[in-house]
Amino acid sequence: MFLNKYIYNYFLILFVLIPLSLIIGSAATMVNILLIDVSFIILLIYNKNFKFLKNKSLIYLLILYIYLIFNTSISIDYSQSAPRNLGFFRMIILFIAFNYFFHQKLFFDKMIKCWLIIFLIVTIDIFIEYSFGRNIFGYGELYGNRIVSFFKDEPIVGGYVNGFFLILVGFLLDKNSKYNYFFIILSIVLLVAIILTGERANSIKALLGISVLIILYKKIKFKYKLIFFTSLSIILISLLLNSSFLKLRFINQIKSSLGNESIYFKLYHSGFQVFKNYKVFGVGNKNYRIETCKQNYEEVVKNNNRYICTTHPHQIYFDFLSEHGLLGTFILMFIFYHLIFSKVKETYLKRNYLQLGSLIYLIFVFTPIIPSGAFFNNYTLTIFIINLSIFYSSGNNLNIFKNYY
């Protein structure tokens, strides 16, 4: 069903604002998504359109929500886990809304072109801060050489750009071949921007992600792919040789992180210790900090727990195991297998590069060993759901409204 122009433009503005709300903060993101969700629910009720509820993928998301409610009930401090777990419902509605609006004429094209402008501005700002020590608003001194850009006091802009990187590139790949050169330039510029932030895990994932996407892209001859990778290699080597900061982050600190004294090894070990003490159900979502910070130093040494007091163990599998235990981790991975990994072959065969780009991002979220944020953190989860939503909505084979138009 097509919308009148006022409703169409209202939703388009809300979707365009999603990347901006992530920069402003969690409260702005929450308000933006809730506006989309409430408005969309009213639209569904008005149109009496609920046949999509039978879709299997949506049923898996609802099962995940039911599990998260259960996880709240077994958490060591339910007041911490309840807002995060119960709030997951807003992500389900957002997922449905993405699938619905993909079918509105030119909605996605306009949305992603606006996103492209936003990320070009952020990318320029990253280069400015890297060159002058401050971004265009004067942010940047707090973290030294680490790039914060518009995030002011959080060095997470590399993960932010990486979260939308393959969506933007995949979108251009699906367009006419006249975009090929722009796609190549954009890929290199965005990738270099991510690397300049010094965020190692996101840089590695972005580099691997764009490499896979280009290798799978059929409209560029092999010699041009070779030129792309050669040019990229020269640029990356030049950056590492000419920047003491990047050399420290990507060579020296990676070397030092490979031993048993690595801070990440200690964080992973701490996560495993929490899991050992709560094997079946885990401590509950957002309760890792409660468990690891409740004991004083003498108690930690006496019990040989080797906990590190922090918000999360900085790796997705230790995050799952410590906060969800064996049972919860099995449920989560079972659901994500059916939502994501079981769709790899058919997505590869379809050669829809917007869909393929978001799929590659989703797969690399589950990369072992490489550090990651807390999965159910509002910021991390929002970017994950955006990629999951675009993965489904952009494919005629997966869109949950495909049979109802």
List, as one string, the DSSP characters of 263-296. Answer: HHHHHHHHHHHHHHHSTTT-S-TT-HHHHHHSS-
Other beta carbons within 10 Å of 316: 21
pLDDT band at 261 (very low <50, low <70, confident <90, very high): low
Give the integer Cα–Cα distance in Å for 225 and 214.
7
Predicted confidence at residue 184, as pLDDT, reads 80
Higher-confidence residue of 47 and 95: namely 95
Predicted confidence at residue 273, as pLDDT, reads 93
Give the integer Cα–Cα distance in Å for 68 and 65.
5
Helices (H), 304-377: 316-339, 344-350, 353-365
Mean pLDDT of the 137-141 span: 86
> Cα–Cα distances in Å, from 77 out to 81, 82, 104, 159, 251?
7, 9, 43, 29, 40
Give the integer Cα–Cα distance in Å for 33 and 186.
28
Predicted confidence at residue 80, as pLDDT, reads 92
Mean pLDDT of the 115-125 span: 96
pLDDT band at 211 (very low <50, low <70, confident <90, very high): very high
Residue 297 in this model has a pLDDT that exceeds 60: no
Predicted confidence at residue 378, as pLDDT, reads 94
Mean pLDDT in the chain? 90
pLDDT band at 253 (very low <50, low <70, confident <90, very high): confident
Higher-confidence residue of 388 and 106: namely 388
Least confident of 40-54, 300-314, 354-368: 300-314
Mean pLDDT of the 239-268 span: 81
Residue 259 in this model has a pLDDT that exceeds 70: no
pLDDT band at 177 (very low <50, low <70, confident <90, very high): low
Higher-confidence residue of 155 and 295: namely 155
Is the CB of residue 49 less than 8 Å from the CB of residue 1? yes
Predicted confidence at residue 302, as pLDDT, reads 47
Mean pLDDT of the 150-163 span: 94
Q: What tokens appear for 361 in the block?
A: 């991002």
Is the CB of residue 149 less than 8 Å from the CB of residue 139? yes
Mean pLDDT of the 351-380 span: 94
pTM of the model: 0.94
Measured on CA atoms in the order 157, 158, 159, 165, is the torsion positive or negative? positive
Predicted confidence at residue 57, as pLDDT, reads 95
Mean pLDDT of the 51-76 span: 95
Residue 163 in this model has a pLDDT that exceeds 70: yes
Would you state the torsion angle of the CA atoms of residues 397, 383, 20, 120, taken in this order, to the nearest 10 degrees?
-80
Cα 2 vs. chain centroid, distance in angstroms?
30
Residue 144 in this model has a pLDDT that exceeds 80: no
Predicted confidence at residue 178, as pLDDT, reads 61
